[in-house]
């Protein structure tokens, strides 16, 4: 069941605030939100919940290349990669999230991972449309079973 | 899915194989054992947690893998299995806990073939009578999930406690005692078992689970090329020195739900064992010897920093008690 209200898309137990876009390329499940001239990137609630508690998180402070890993995290002894939604230059890494990665599980939309400057934030696989989001997340939920 | 029975491989190759299969995009199961003893760090571990002088003296190499799990000691008394699967395929679960079941079911059957009542303990341990009998780590390489693990034929707990840089002999002795109690091996459970017997069962059970496969004993050329390419990357000083997480030398995870912590502060020495929710064993010493009344109070206490703080000696400064409480609870 999908619902859209208060600018949030809800698909089953997962929520997707519409004040940001979502990177679905390479199963990344990251959100991108504009903050002035910069863009903050974080993990969406679907990934934060299905991955389990994050024990480790490491994010690069170098360049981002679209589709390439810019960090890793470990949960349940499984190491996953974080894939960049677009090319960019890292302005700041959220070291607090690296020190306490469970903050990502507890508040995925309030915990950014990296702040980036880019000349092209369009990327090739960023979703912001509510219906498109719903369809993608439904497919993702189906793939879990 | 292809099946590789690689026999005995060099220590570094025994790790490079699954990295290379994933990197080359080859879905496969590989079974092998290493010809030498070595230490293998998880992706987020650093050599800082190892007794490097000891390792150099004993000529024990160290590898750092790209997948998860902690530091392990590996040798030819372990049967390795690696599963590399394309997560886009319907039969391969995308959710990590289900992927573990998918990859480990043939290993569970292997233990059962030897008459053992094995069970799965999340995240990815296999236990026999409450004791860990197989350790596993996993990770994603693009669209491929990889699981790497081993069946322990034997395990040298003495050597395992030597390769880690523990804070003192008390910690080391307790760690060995706990490993002896919490880990088990096929030989300990069922007597003399050879690597070949385990390998044969693994191969048969992976075929039952994933369908009949031609057993290959050599890696294909494109995977061999990846092995050679990755040897440079994973063998480099840069990869080994890469910043990981700060080693917590004072806090050892012996098995799921069993941790050992140590601290020395202002003349007190505390060695504490905890489960996931309580202190289960503790030694507290000051200059005059063991503080048995404090120990008795702490055993059974929940992992609540404030509660531990209250149970510590009143003549300890609050700062010291806070530090000890944090260590005893593991920072919870």
Is the torsion defined by CA of A132, A133, A138, A141 positive or negative? positive
Chain B neighbors of A72, CB-CB under 8 A: 43-44
Q: Is A81 in Cβ contact with B44 (below 8 Å)?
A: no
Nearest CB to A78: which of B70, B138, B243? B138
Structure tokens that stand for A139 in this block: 């497919």
Q: For residue B129, is it left (φ>0), alpha (ψ between -120 and 50) or beta?
A: left
pTM for the predicted model, two decimal places: 0.84
Chain B neighbors of A51, CB-CB under 8 A: 96
Decide if A78 touches B, using CB distance below 8 A. Answer: yes
Confidence of residue A26 (pLDDT cuts 50, 70, 90): confident
Structure tokens that stand for B133 in this block: 């009998």
ipTM of the complex: 0.82
In order of A112, A113, A123, A132, B229, the CA distances from B309 in angstroms are 34, 34, 52, 52, 53
As a whole number, mean pLDDT of residues B269-290 equals: 89
Nearest CB to B139: which of A27, A51, A78? A78
Nearest CB to B43: which of A76, A79, A140? A79
A-chain residue closest to B246, CA distance: A99
Confidence of residue A19 (pLDDT cuts 50, 70, 90): very high
Whether residue B100 contacts residue B147, with contact meaning beta carbons closer than 8 Å, is answered with: yes
Place of tokens 């010809």: B35
As a whole number, mean pLDDT of residues B98-119 equals: 96
pLDDT at B2 over 90: yes
**CA A137/CA A129 separation, integer angstroms:** 12
Decide if A102 touches B, using CB distance below 8 A. Answer: no
């Amino acid at each position: 069941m999908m619902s859209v209200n208060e600018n949030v898309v809800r698909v089953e137990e997962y929520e997707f605030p519409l004040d940001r876009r979502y990177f679905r390329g390479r199963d990344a499940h990251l959100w991108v939100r504009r903050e002035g001239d910069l863009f903050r990137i974080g993990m969406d609630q679907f990934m934060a919940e299905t991955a389990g508690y994050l024990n480790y998180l490491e994010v690069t402070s170098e360049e981002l290349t679209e589709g390439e890993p810019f960090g890793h995290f470990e949960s349940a002894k499984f190491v996953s990669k974080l894939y960049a939604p677009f090319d960019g230059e890292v302005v700041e890494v959220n070291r607090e999230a690296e020190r306490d990665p469970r903050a990502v599980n507890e508040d995925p939309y309030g915990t950014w991972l990296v702040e980036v400057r880019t000349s092209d934030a369009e990327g090739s696989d960023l979703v912001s449309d509510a219906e498109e989001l719903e369809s993608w997340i439904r497919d993702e939920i189906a793939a879990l079973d | 899915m292809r099946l590789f029975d690689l026999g005995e491989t060099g220590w570094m190759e025994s790790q490079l194989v699954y990295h290379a299969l994933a990197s080359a995009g080859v879905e496969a199961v590989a079974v092998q054992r290493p010809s030498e003893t070595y230490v293998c760090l998880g992706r987020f571990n650093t050599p800082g947690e190892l007794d490097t002088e000891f390792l150099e003296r004993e000529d024990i190499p160290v590898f750092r893998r790209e997948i998860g799990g902690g530091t392990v000691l590996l040798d030819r008394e372990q049967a390795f299995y690696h599963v590399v699967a394309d997560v886009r395929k319907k039969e391969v679960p995308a959710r990590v806990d289900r992927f573990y079941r998918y990859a480990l079911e043939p290993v569970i059957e292997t233990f059962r073939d030897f008459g053992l009542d094995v069970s799965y303990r999340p995240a990815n341990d296999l236990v026999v009578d409450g004791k860990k009998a197989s350790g596993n780590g996993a990770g994603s390489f693009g669209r491929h999930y990889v699981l790497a693990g081993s069946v322990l034929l034997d395990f040298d707990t003495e050597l395992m406690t030597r390769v880690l840089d523990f804070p003192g002999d008390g910690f080391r002795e307790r760690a060995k005692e706990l490993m002896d109690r919490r880990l088990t091996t096929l030989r300990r459970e069922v007597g003399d078992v050879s690597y070949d017997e385990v390998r044969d069962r693994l191969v048969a059970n992976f075929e039952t689970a994933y369908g009949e496969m031609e057993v290959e004993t050599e890696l294909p050329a494109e995977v061999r090329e990846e092995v050679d390419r990755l040897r440079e990357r994973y063998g480099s000083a840069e990869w080994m020195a890469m910043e990981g997480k700060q080693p917590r030398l004072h806090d050892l995870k012996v098995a799921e739900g069993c941790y050992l912590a140590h601290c020395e502060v202002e003349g007190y020495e505390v060695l504490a064992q905890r489960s996931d929710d309580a202190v289960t064993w503790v030694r507290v010493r000051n200059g005059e010897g063991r503080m048995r009344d404090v120990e008795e109070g702490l055993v059974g206490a929940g992992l609540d920093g404030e509660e531990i703080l209250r149970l510590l000696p009143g003549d300890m400064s609050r700062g010291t008690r806070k530090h000890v409480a944090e260590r005893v609870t593991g920072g919870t």
